[in-house]
Amino acid sequence: MDSNFQYFVEHVASCPNITAEYLSGLWISLFQSHQQNRFGKPMPWIGMYIALASLFCILAMMADLLHGLRNRKLWFPCKYFTLNAASLTVIAVAIKLPMDLTNLMPSYEDQAAKLGSVSFMCTIMANLLPSLATMNSKELVTNMIALGVLVITLVVNVCIQINTGVLSYHEEETVVLTGFTDGDYTLFYPSFSFMLTISYVVVLLMLLIIYACSSLAILKSKQILESKYQAAHQTTLKDQELLQPTVDKLKKHVSNYWIMAKTGSPQFMTASFATTSASGVICALTTILHIWSMPIFRMPHTRDFRSDYKWSMLLIRIVQLIGVILGTIAPLARCFAALSFKLSVKWIWRHIKVFKVESYWTQKLSDWKYSSLPFPSSRRHCKIVIQTLKSLFLNICISFQLIVVVACKIITLIPIFFVICVLYCLRCWKWLKAMFRASRVDLVQNPDEQLEKDKDLSRYVLQLEDDMEFPERTLKGILKSVNHLIQKAEKQQPNNLIKLLAESRSFEGVEKFDSHHVPPLLSEEYLNSWSLPLVTLTTIAMSLPNIQKNIVDRLLISAVREGLVYVTLVEESLGGIDDHVSIQKAAKTVWLEVEVHNTWLGNKLQKPDSQVNTAGQILQWLSDTAKKMVIKDEGMRTGVPNDYSKWRCISANSMYRVTETILLSYHGDIDQLSQEELFVQISLMTADILAACLTNLPQVIAMKCHTSAIEKREASVHAAAQLLGEATNIVNTLQERELPCLDPDELTSIDKWRAYLKDPFP
């Protein structure tokens, strides 16, 4: 025990009037106090953990904010901070303070930090709302249940603390506030703390109700957008002719799908909901309330922290205050973006005059109402009772949904008037600019052509309401964003690959790299792929010691490295059978070893046996080494081989066939072949194979524009636009080539190419 405790024992024990029973009680109380202090020592570090979890939430919210600004998505979609198991776990740690039922918060600073955590939770919920649109039905239900449990638990815990007095316990009875008016006033802190806490609880419950209502609307809205997307998709397929595509046709194709993906994006759709706008307003009001309450807690004589969390309470309060302020930006911006970019002035006036509740808000509940239930009992009376109760319950839910939507639309009246002023100011500014232009002819130049173009693009705009006018400025902004992305990607052209493709004049190398005269080694023959011959040919080129390494790197390896990126896209997008997947994995494994370690299946390149000097000897050495590997692996197989053994066998077989084909093509005159000539031959075959494969890039771009999952559509079209920009010069270079008379599906297969080049007229 410490010295104070010993002093207490010595002096108290010397008093004759104190009974043994009283001393025993004092001993127990003092021991319990000492143990409580001991148990509370780790609490400041737990406070640090809470602050760190809060910081993670803030960084994720800021990442979404920066992503929206960078990509000009002013509705700020949730990309990094989304509702899932990981984020819910971090959030649960960040709001541990209001979850704590027993630890007293004696000082005002301690209680302010606890209430600040509740305000921080309100901000988090407002930021996470659009992420509901990124989930499928199962994920949406699961995450909504998890969030509901967390929020209800928080609300119940806060209410318990209100009842037990944990949130109103304080050592000072009153707080004297000066400077707010001309006089001095006395405010009883428990009353203020009670009202502030109740306000936060109400906001949490309101946001949870908004989440539930938005989830029901999202389920139905996705179905509406999906049906409209499929109709627009069929229209696009009829309009576009991609058999002989040009870059201009591809850009138009990508732009059409870009409009469909952007306007049909679930998060873009959710940003236009009245519930999203209402959550932004509620979040802003909560932030104002939180900032306004801060001076009341910041009294000069209450700067000490008397809870077990001690000094960490200041860190928690500062971090979460920053989170509340910064976290309000995105929800409030979504509110204004929905009104000023997604919606028109005509809609705003209609919104003010009549609070119309669109059908998609209650359609899902109506579908459930009229659907049948799998009754466990076959008795007719039980079915009637259950069906009646279900209809009654869902009628109540529908009425409640209507009330919530109307209430949210009333809340959005607050920013609507501001948006109206901004829109009319912009119109006046445009009118003034038009008045002072030098020539009015420029204003009306080709108006019919522009109108026709806008009508053509408007066919691809997806909206929940057919009668809603889609603003022209928003459509232009969407087109501007895709053009900006393509132009930015055009600056990232694969120059080494383009230089190698320029050396190809035909597609003869596709047929020459592998001969049917080479006897098979494998008991199970695999189909050819595009990537494995490229890796094999590059490996042979790297094994030529007389060719300088910088020449090989510049002329071949860099080009193949860039080309394999697009070859992989072609193979993964257009050839997904099991044999192709195995060969692609074998090619990736070997290429990693060749590029990084300069070895091929464990054999060092450019350092063969000292007796191996000529090009023919190097080819023979590679052929013999590959043959031994195949025979060894084939002989050691028992049952199903492991993946690495299978990939090793496929790669060795490819090396054997390619080297033997080159050796056979010279009919015994291989000794006269120099390494430089062999390198040139390999470069030409590599260029021909790359050129043949990359003729499928337009088909890949068109395929990436369309995907069945609505949640992945925007990312898929983004990848297509990026690919189009990077491959512009490749498409321009190859579109002048005369392609084999094959169907588009056959052009994706190297074996079909080889068969045609071998016998063009069967």
CB of 73 closer than 8 Å to CB of 261: no
Q: For residue 285, what pLDDT is reported?
A: 93
179: left (phi over 0), alpha (psi -120 to 50) or beta: left
Residues 6+ apart with CB under 8 A from 662: 619, 670, 678, 681
**Residue 323 predicted with pLDDT over 90:** yes
Q: Per-residue pLDDT averaged across 603-608, rounded?
A: 71
Q: For residue 739, what pLDDT is reported?
A: 82
Element (H, E) at 176: strand 175-177
Nearest to 474 by CA among 461, 487, 483: 461
**Residue 48 predicted with pLDDT over 60:** yes
Tens-place pLDDT, residues 531-566:
999 999 999 988 888 888 888 887 788 899 999 999
Q: For residue 485, what pLDDT is reported?
A: 92
Q: Per-residue pLDDT averaged across 665-687, rounded?
A: 83
Q: For residue 33, what pLDDT is reported?
A: 57
pLDDT band at residue 143, thresholds of 50, 70 and 90?
very high
Element (H, E) at 186: strand 185-187
Query: Measured between alpha carbons, how far is 25 from 575 in angstroms, rounded to an integer?
Result: 82
- The fraction of the chain above a pLDDT of 70, given in percent, is 77
Where b means 16+ CB within 10 Å and e means fewer, 160-181 reads: ebbeeebbbebeeeebeeeeee
* Chain CA centroid to CA 452, Å: 36
pLDDT band at residue 441, thresholds of 50, 70 and 90?
very low
Q: What is the mean pLDDT of the chain?
A: 80
**Residue 6 predicted with pLDDT over 80:** no
How wide is the angle at C-alpha 217 spanned by C-alphas 215 and 218, nearest 5°? 65
Higher pLDDT, 377 or 465: 465
Higher pLDDT, 578 or 486: 486
**Residue 314 predicted with pLDDT over 90:** no
CB of 489 closer than 8 Å to CB of 722: yes
**Residue 417 predicted with pLDDT over 90:** no
| DSSP code at position 604 | E
Q: Per-residue pLDDT averaged across 411-438, rounded?
A: 71
**Residue 301 predicted with pLDDT over 50:** no
Tens-place pLDDT, residues 221-255:
999 999 999 988 887 777 665 456 788 889 989 99
**Residue 759 predicted with pLDDT over 70:** yes
How wide is the angle at C-alpha 14 spanned by C-alphas 8 and 18, nearest 5°? 90
CB of 527 closer than 8 Å to CB of 583: yes
Residue 658 Cα distances to 14, 356, 533, 651, angstroms: 103, 71, 8, 11
Query: Measured between alpha carbons, how far is 117 from 111 in angstroms, rounded to an integer?
Result: 10
Tens-place pLDDT, residues 643-666:
677 788 888 989 999 999 988 887
Residue 187: phi, psi to the nearest 5? -115, 125
Q: For residue 616, what pLDDT is reported?
A: 84
**Residue 757 predicted with pLDDT over 80:** yes
Taking each continuous run of H as one helix and of E as one strand, the counts in the chain are: 32, 4
Q: For residue 184, what pLDDT is reported?
A: 41
Q: For residue 357, what pLDDT is reported?
A: 85
Q: For residue 32, what pLDDT is reported?
A: 53
pLDDT band at residue 755, thresholds of 50, 70 and 90?
confident
Residue 600: phi, psi to the nearest 5? -125, 110
**Residue 26 predicted with pLDDT over 70:** no
Tens-place pLDDT, residues 81-106:
999 999 999 999 999 999 988 777 76
Q: Per-residue pLDDT averaged across 172-180, rounded?
A: 41
Q: Per-residue pLDDT averaged across 103-110, rounded?
A: 72
**Residue 398 predicted with pLDDT over 90:** yes
CB of 227 closer than 8 Å to CB of 254: no
pLDDT band at residue 180, thresholds of 50, 70 and 90?
very low
Q: Per-residue pLDDT averaged across 353-379, rounded?
A: 79
Residue 42: phi, psi to the nearest 5? -75, -10
Query: Measured between alpha carbons, how far is 107 from 473 in angstroms, rounded to an integer?
Result: 54
Q: Residue 106, class by beta-carbon neighbours within 10 Å (0-12 exposed, 13-18 middle, 19+ buried)? A: middle
**Residue 402 predicted with pLDDT over 90:** yes
Q: Per-residue pLDDT averaged across 11-38, rounded?
A: 56
Q: For residue 170, what pLDDT is reported?
A: 54
**Residue 446 predicted with pLDDT over 50:** no
Q: Per-residue pLDDT averaged across 509-524, rounded?
A: 82
Q: Residue 102, class by beta-carbon neighbours within 10 Å (0-12 exposed, 13-18 middle, 19+ buried)? A: exposed
Least confidently predicted of 38-42, 284-288, 696-700: 38-42
Element (H, E) at 626: helix 615-636
Tens-place pLDDT, residues 49-64:
999 999 999 999 999 9
Q: For residue 302, what pLDDT is reported?
A: 46
What residue type is assigned to position 603 of the chain?
N
* Chain CA centroid to CA 427, Å: 36
pLDDT band at residue 581, thresholds of 50, 70 and 90?
confident
Higher pLDDT, 473 or 178: 473
pTM of the model: 0.81
Map tokens 């400077």 to a residue.
179
Least confidently predicted of 62-71, 257-266, 381-390, 571-580: 571-580
Nearest to 105 by CA among 173, 42, 165: 165
Q: For residue 246, what pLDDT is reported?
A: 83
Partners of 187 in the beta sheet? Answer: 175
* Chain CA centroid to CA 1, Å: 57
How wide is the angle at C-alpha 578 spanned by C-alphas 574 and 583, nearest 5°? 85
Q: Per-residue pLDDT averaged across 419-443, rounded?
A: 62
Q: For residue 287, what pLDDT is reported?
A: 93
pLDDT band at residue 445, thresholds of 50, 70 and 90?
very low
Q: For residue 298, what pLDDT is reported?
A: 53
Q: For residue 447, what pLDDT is reported?
A: 44
CB atoms within 10 A of CB 376: 7
**Residue 266 predicted with pLDDT over 50:** yes
**Residue 484 predicted with pLDDT over 60:** yes
Q: Per-residue pLDDT averaged across 184-190, rounded?
A: 43
Higher pLDDT, 303 or 719: 719
CB of 43 closer than 8 Å to CB of 310: yes
Residues 6+ apart with CB under 8 A from 133: 218, 222, 265, 266, 267, 269, 270, 711
